[in-house]
Structure formats: structure tokens, C-alpha cells
Structure 1
Amino acid sequence: MVMLQNGKTILRCIIQKKDFLCGIKRPLHHFRFPKDSTYINGKWISAKDGSIFPVSNPADGETLAFVPDCSTVDLDEAINGAHDAFKEWKNTTAKERSYILRKMFNLHMENVGDLAHIITAEVGKPLQESVSEINYGASFLEWFSEEVRRIYGDIVPSPFKNKQMFFIRQPVGVAGIITPWNFPNAMITRKVGAALAAGCTCIIKPAEDTPLSALAFADIADKAGVPPGVINVVTSSRKNTPSIGKKLCESHKVATISFTGSTEVGKMLLMNSASTVKKVSLELGGNAPFIVFNSANVKQAVSGLMASKFRNSGQTCVCTNRILVQDKIHDSFVSELSKAMKNQLIVGNGFDTGVTLGPLINQHAVEKVEGHVKNAIENGANLVIGGKRHSRGGTYFEPTLLTQVTKDMLPFCEETFGPVAAIMKFSTEEEAIEIANSSKSGLAGYFYSEEVAQIVRVAKAIEVGMVGVNEGIISTSEAAFGGIKESGIGREGSRYGIDEYVEMKYICLGGLN
């Protein structure tokens, strides 16, 4: 169904054909809001000019729904609503905010199946991966519902007998939240959970490919009792997205910008935010090294690589991108990895049973992956597995394994964002560290070793914000997620995630003689 008839909801059409999770039928009963609407200032409304744009399933190109193509006029309404709501929300108690965040967590957990179906429909990832994302996303709401009551300040010993010094942390104000398509639920909850805990109000600008998850999140917030204006969703097409982002950055009523996405866009947002000198937190592109030393447990390393490299078809910012394998175990590692890829990676529609590798998000993504593989092969890389578009057509790409890759080939120079494992052989620890640190990116890095001294040395030497040692999956709500160099500014999750949404205020109380 392309357009929905009056009286039906936006999201019911998503699972009209694919409506089974683990054999249990799950219609989307819990998400009922008007078609062609977004959520601004506590109301479901259309774009002022009536514009809409389609949301498509990358697995088959089918139109799932139409959502408002908001302009800066609609954004103004969201900004004003969030700015007015902040006057009340900032004065709520930590316990009150904790209660609402916990209700949002509970509603997430009650609707895991429905929310996962939405993700698989608009992103394409296998259904079980979508279930994992909802559980992961909900964990941030749970974490910040507890952390909100620990936003402490300090009483500082004064050097003067007649003065007392206090440091307190206060919410910055309205937060502009710009999220990517690859984790359309978890990247919202990770930011909004911290912002609401701090006492901020939010304007969420979801990626144009995946707005339905954001609208479902808004519906949950509404049901949880979040006051009008505290959470707003501004959906827009690719055409209107630049102007929306620019206005969020330049508005004096928006106090902070939090963005997850490409380094190129992050730099533009940072530059545009300079005019108002607002806080900016950025989680940008990665080019993660994955180093396997001679002492490593090869099977364990292969298992970690499979988890890190091929999650969401290789479309995550912390995906392994540059695989460095030491000379003595290189051949055995390639052999084991080749077997694992052939046996474990089943390409198909994310709703189909047994599928572990879904489509890429769009044709542009396919073209980029195709270009990286072609560049590597033309420059001397050895193709072991895959290397071309999948026979299913559309946006599917074959799981690909390349060896004899050099650091001047595109799969090593740039983030591929696809199901391509590119391997380079190295000889010494120093060589591996030099190659790993040669990138301008510094988000995540992984290495496998059984030597304790080497583990300590390499963990300290590798220039990234997050290191997985003998582990390929490092993300959790308790972890401080973020990078260095051109991979971003600030941290999300953990007790440090709230710091992006508060300001430190120094109070000097005098006259105490």
C-alpha cells in the first residue's frame, strides 16, 4: 500500500505482508497517529505547506508511508515550542524526570516487536538485529532514568573565611538532535535520554531514510506523559535537510547540537554553530582498525571480526574497516574467515527466516561499496569471496573478502560502510600501530592478542576513543561512546553523556562573617 486511507495509521502498513516475529503475529496496535503527520509541541501536525515525501523499504523499494517534508517554517514552531517548554521542564525535579524516562523505557520494552518491525522495514537489517537495537536503545532510557538523580555539583573549600563556593550543573536549554539512519531508534534514545535527564528539551531531526522510528519514539514519549514541547520531531526530505540543520545551528534559542553522521556534515554543523557559540557534540565517521597479532586465538578473532564487520551489513560507524593480520597467522586467519563468511552470512530480506545480512540503505551506498572493491582489485588486491552486486538485485551486495590490500587503496583510505572485509598483512607491532594510527579518524579500534604486555602497550598506543581488546562488540549504555581526531567531540552514554547537556555554574556566596 502506498497511500493510507483516512482512519488508518502511518505505521500499520509496514507489516501488512511481513507481520511475524518468532512465529507470533504482531500487528502495530500501539502506534496510532494520523498519516502525513509529525510531532511538534505535543500535537500531530502536517507541514505548513502540506509537503510530504515517501519512506521506502531498501529491501524491495516498496513505499512504506509518506511523512511531512518540513521546512524552516515548521522548524520555527518546534524551536519556539521547545524554548517555551524548557521554562517549565528545567524546574522539574530529578525524581520527576526519572519517572518519565522509566515509563518510556517500560513502553519500549512492551513494544519491542513492533518497534523492531519498523526498523527492519525502513533500514533493512535482519529482524533479530532490529530487536537487539530496540533492547539497546531502551537501555539508554533505563540508564539515564537512574543517572538523572546523580547530576551532582560540588562544595569547594574557600580560601576566604567570609565566602562559600558552590559549583552546580544546570541544563543548557533546547537541544538540536540530528540522528542517522543506521540506528534510527538507539541514536535517538542515547541522545534524548541524556538531554531529558539533564532537564533539556529536544528537537529531533531524523535521517530522511528512517523517520518512522522517530515518530514511533515520539508516540511513546507522548504516552509516557512527556509534556508538550519537550520532545519534537521535524521530518524532512534530503532537499530540505540542509536548511533545517543550518537553522538549528544558527538559532539563538537552540543551546546545543548533538549530531551523529558523516565527518563532512559534522564539520559543516560545527562551522554553522560558531555564529552562536553553542555547545556541539559530534559522533562522526570511523575507519576502525582490527589488528590480529600472532599470539591471538584465531577462532576467537574471526568470531569478533564477524560480529564487528557485518552487523547491519557493515553499515555502522564502529564497524571494522581496516583488518591487519600478522604474518605468521595470516593464512590461517583468512581461511577461517572465509569459512565463517560462507557459512554464516545469508543474504536476504531482513524479515525472512535465517537471514543475517540485509540490503544496503540505498543505491548510493551500493555504488560506494562497488567503487571501493573495484579500486582495490584494479590496484592489485586479491578477491577471495564476492566482489559484486548480489543476484537478488536492488541494494544487495555480496559479502566480500579481499586480501593483499595496501594502505593506498580505497577500502583502507576511506570508511567503506558495507560488507567488505579488506585484509593487509603486517610483520611487527610497530608497523601495525603506525598503520592503525595513520587515519584522520579515531572512533573505535580492535585488536586480538594473548600477550599481557602487548595488550597494555597497544591499548595505550592506538589513537581511538574506544578500544576493544579480544572483543568485537563494545557498545553499551554504561560505556563512554565517542572518538578523537576527526571522529568527533564529546561522549554519549555512561555518566559522562549528561555532560553534553549541562553547564557548570560557579556560585560565590559572600558576607558570611
Structure 2
Amino acid sequence: MAPFTPLFIDGQQVPASDNGTFNVYNISTSTVVGISASASSADCTAAVEAAGRAFKTWEKTTPYARRDIFLKAADLASSAGWRDLIIQATMEEMNSSLAWAAGQHMEAAPLIRTIASFANDLTGKTFMSSSVPGLQCVMEQRAMGVIFGIAPWNAPFGLTLRALATPIMCGNTVVIKSSEYSPRTQALAVQLFHEAGLPNGVVNYISMSRESSPALTAQIIAHPLVRKINFTGSDRVGRIIATEAAKHLKPTVLELGGKAPAVVLDDASIPDAAKAIVFGAMLYSGQICMSTERVIVQRKAAEPLIAQIKSLTASLTATDMQGESSKNAKLGPLFTEGSAENVIAMLTEAQAAGTELLLGDLARQGAVVQPHLVKDVKPGMRLWDRESFGPVIAFAVVDTPEEAVELANASEYSLSASLWTCDMYLAQRIAPLIRAGYTNINGPTVHAEHIVSIAGLGGSSGYGHFGIDDFTDKRVVATHPLGRQFPFLQ
């Protein structure tokens, strides 16, 4: 029998109040791998109100008390029992490879421990007024209240941790909404912190069917207790979330799409660049917001770089992750058959527009798409302009570093980039010109440090970090001296 994932409200696992459920399917076999509670309107209200009640006491806990819970959660996440739970749920719900699921587990404890260290940074400052003699100001970083977090399916455990961890470390309370594709994996992130000693109501978890999600999401955003929303996902849905939040003048953190460029200059280490580009483009079949989707290479380096990338990529085969032959598979299927259809459509359009297909068959088998390499892709083509979320590398050849920067910035996206050169003086001059939240010199685009999260610079990549400044308010208490003189009351 398929496992059941309940809601988690005010420290209790509960079914939906109207007993609503939905099925969770394996994307390759269409078999049911789980059944999830589907929250009702009353459940959503209950989750927000539980978080509101918990905030009154959680905000007053010391940062070091919160840190101790985080360190306990990190220790639990490192245990064999939790490792097996996380990996099994990820593989079953997402049909991912063992390597991808294991990587999700391996990142958990370091992420939690890094955010635990934020306890040392939750400080304020005191300063004297610049205009009123004797007036003293105390600026504090204070928790905001209830945070509504929406985490996606592609890295379900890790991104759910990120959506809740910094907010609660800062003294907020949280309502987490899962993707309808990965409720069991995402619920584990909440259960982990509860087992570590998080008080009831500090984190509440809800899941809901695809059909009910738009209306219920809008309901939660509109609730007066909800102070901020964080969302990770597509730019299409991000715009909807931002619109709903704007109706109530509520701030958001939006980590959306990517179209990461790798800029390779003539003096680059070609073997290193080729390996990092293939890794960044093909990891999880390109279904990562930081995936390398565009390679902009200077002309002298183009032929050897493309040859090495083609050789490395040709050795990779995507499978449906079913059967014995898939146990050691490096590439799995795309998220849905619709995702695969979209990737093939983008490739077909690009070929019709005059690009050169270097590798790939322009076909899909269900949700499985083999790696594709395409040369002479240009702005204006959908393959250049829009995130593919597939195992695709688009090449453009340029003559100068300045031309490479111009093409790298010819995009609505701005999450991540890489720059390849052995001249560090040139790297330090060129890297700041690339418009990206993270620019990796001689490294893959799929990289970010836990202490400073990946973040877009607006547009289709969104904006905001998962850091202290994004989940606290700077509040000032000004103590005025008695006996002040006021001009028109002399």
C-alpha cells in the first residue's frame, strides 16, 4: 500500500479536515507511489494561526537556544536512519538517481549547521543621533512574524530546508507548502526539526492538490498574520506569487529560473572547462536553476572546447530509472512528459532557425531526453531566451571578451554564471561585468555557498536571498533626552 503523508499543524500529524487526498505518481511508470493529505481552506487557516500563536514565544527564545535545536537537527540528518528516509523518499517520488538523492542528503547537515551559525550575527547596534544632542538610538534585527514558504520538487528536501531554516533561526515561524509531486520528501524536513525539539507551531506543513493550490495559496498570502513569502520555482509561477503578494503590499523572496552562461576565453584550461560545463549542464538532466545552459566561447578556444564537451557528453545516456540497468545511471528522465515535449520543441525550433545540431536525436522516449549540443544559437531564439530545464547546451562563438560579456548579459535571467581564463587580472576585470548573482571563476555554474544563497538580480530569476537581512526587520528605538526645546514652542 502506498505511504500516506499527513499535514503537520501545531506539532501534530493530521489528515485534511475534510479528508481530502491526492495521489502522488512516479513520473516514468505512472504508478502511485504515495497518497497525500490535501489541505482544505480551514486547514490553511489553522496552520497560519498555529504559527501566529507560536511566534509570540518563539521570537523571545535566544538565538543560542535556537542554534542548539539546529545542531541537534544536523546530527539527526547525519544519522543512517534519516539518510535512508531521505534517499528513499527522494528516489521514489522524483524517480531520481541514487547519486542525486544521496547528494540531497549530504547537503542537509552542512546547510543546517551553517544557518545555526547565524546565531552570532543576529545583533543590533547603538548609535547617537546626528541631529538631536543626547538622543540615543538602538537598532535591532527583529523577527517579522509568520513566513509562508513554498518549495519546489526538483531538490525537495534541501530546498524545503532552505525555505524554513533561515526564517526560524531569525525567530520567525513558518507555514511550508510542498509541491504536489514530492510531499513525502518535503514533509521529512519539517519532521526532522520537530524531532530535534522545535516547539509546536513553529513550523507547519501543508500539501494540497494541483487543482486547489491557486486559490488556497492566495488565501494564505492574504492572511493578516503572514508577513512575508518565499518562493522557489519557475518565473511563470513566481510572477503569480508576486502579484498576489503585491495586492497586500507584502514582501517576497523569489528564487526563480536560470539560463546560466559559461564564458570561456581563449586562454582557458580547456579540459577543466569542458568537465565543469558538462557537469553543470547535465547534472540531474539539467533540471537545476543554476544549470549551465549557454556556452559563450572565444573563437580560438571554440574548436577544442566543443570537441571535448562533445566527447564527454556522448558518454552519458539518460534512462527512465527503471530496472537493474538504471541502478548506476547518471542521467534520469525529465520531470514530466510535458517537460520533455517542451525541450524537444525548443530544439526543433532552433534547428529550423539555422543552428547546427552537434549531438542529439531531437526525440524523446516518454520523459527521457538524451543530451543535446547545439551551435550558433542566438538571442531571439527560444533556446537562448528561455530556460529549457533539460540536458541541453547552446553554443555561441565570439571574437572578444567584451562580446562574450554582451552575449552573457543578453538574457532575462541572472542567477549564476561562470568565467574561464587563466589570467586572473583579466578574470577580475571581466567577472564583475557579467550580470549574475554568482559568477564562478574557473568553476561550474552549479555552485553556491550556504552562507550567501544564490539569488537573482530581478527579472526572470527573481530577487532576494535566504539570509538574515531578508527575514528580519530593522527596528529602531530612539530614547529622547528630557527637557528638549522645540522651535515653535519656545
Q: Does 1:503 find its partner at 2:477?
A: no
- Supply the distance in 2 between the matched residues of 1:244 and 1:367 (Cα, whole angstroms): 29
Report what 1:164 is aligned to: 136
Give the deviation of 1:202 after TM superposition.
Answer: 0.6
Report the RMSD for the aligned CA atoms in angstroms. 1.8
What residue identity is the alignment partner of 2:85? D
Structure 2 residue aligned with 1:326 = 298
Gaps of 5+ in 2: 484-490
Partner of 1:485: 458
1:103-139 deviation line (CA, Å, top 9, x unaligned): 1111111122320221122223321122112222332
Choose the corresponding residue for 2:69, options 100, 104, 107: 100
**What amino acid does structure 2 have at the position aligned with 1:367?**
E
> Where does residue 40 of structure 1 map in the other structure?
9
What is the rounded CA distance, in whole Å, between the counterparts of 1:181 and 1:367 in structure 2? 19
**Counterpart Cα distance in 1 of 2:470 and 2:49:** 22
1:399 corresponds to 2:368 = no
SS of alignment partner, residue 415 of structure 1: coil
Question: By how many angstroms is 1:353 displaced?
Answer: 3.0
1:476 counterpart residue number: 449
The one-letter code of the counterpart of 1:424 is A
1:377 corresponds in structure 2 to 351
Contact 2:416 2:454 in 1 (8 A): no
Match of 1:29 in 2: none
CA distance in 1, matches of 2:153, 2:453: 21
Tell me the matched-pair count.
476
Looking at structure 2, the residues matched to 237 and 424 of structure 1 have their Cα atoms a distance apart, in angstroms, of 42
CA distance, structure 1, for counterparts of residue 18 and residue 430 of structure 2: 56
Specify the SS of the correspondent of 2:253: strand
Q: Which amino acid aligns with 2:340?
A: V
Q: 1:152 aligns with which of 100, 123, 130?
A: 123
The alpha-carbon deviation at position 319 of structure 1 amounts to: 0.7
Deviations 1:423-470 (A, max 9, x none): 121122222111111112211111211122321222111111110111
Q: Which amino acid aligns with 1:239?
A: E
Q: Is the 8 A contact 1:301 1:470 kept in 2?
A: yes
Give runs of aligned pairs for residues 168-317 of structure 1, distance below 5 A: 168-317=140-289
1:129 aligned residue (100, 119, 130) = 100
Give the secondary structure class of the aligned counterpart of 1:369: helix
Instruction: Indicate if the aligned counterparts of 1:366 and 1:396 stay in contact, CA closer than 8 A.
Output: yes
What's the TM-score once normalised by structure 2's chain length?
0.93
Alpha-carbon contact 2:318-2:333 (below 8 Å) kept: no
Return the offset for 1:79.
0.7
User: Cα distance, 1:161 vs. partner?
Assistant: 4.5
Shift of the alpha carbon at 1:96? 1.3
User: Are 1:123 and 1:182, in contact at CA under 8 Å, matched by a contact in 2?
Assistant: yes
Structure 1: runs of 5+ lacking an equivalent: 5-9, 11-34
CA distance in structure 2 between the aligned counterparts of 1:63 and 1:396, rounded to whole angstroms: 19
Give the letter for the 2:77 counterpart.
Answer: H
Query: Which of 333, 343, 357 does residue 359 from structure 1 map onto?
Result: 333
Cα offset, 1:417, TM superposition: 0.3
Contact 2:5 2:184 in 1 (8 A): no
CA deviations on 1:223-262 (whole Å, 9 max, x unpaired) are 1121111111110121111112212221111011001111
Report % sequence identity: 26
Q: Is the 2:232–2:254 Cα contact (8 Å) retained in structure 1?
A: yes
CA distance in 2: counterparts of 1:312 and 1:59, whole angstroms: 15
Query: 2: CA distance between counterparts of 1:102 and 1:389?
Result: 47
Partner of 2:313: 341
Aligned residue type for 1:281: V
Give distance in 2, aligned partners of 1:97 and 1:440.
Answer: 38
2:80 matched to 1:118?
Answer: no
Residue 512 of structure 1, CA deviation = 7.0
CA distance in structure 1 between the partners assigned to 2:62 and 2:452 by the alignment: 26
- Post-superposition offset of 1:274: 2.1
The superposition leaves residues 189-234 of structure 1 with CA deviations (integer Å, 9 ceiling, x where unpaired) of: 1221101110111110111111111111222122112111111111
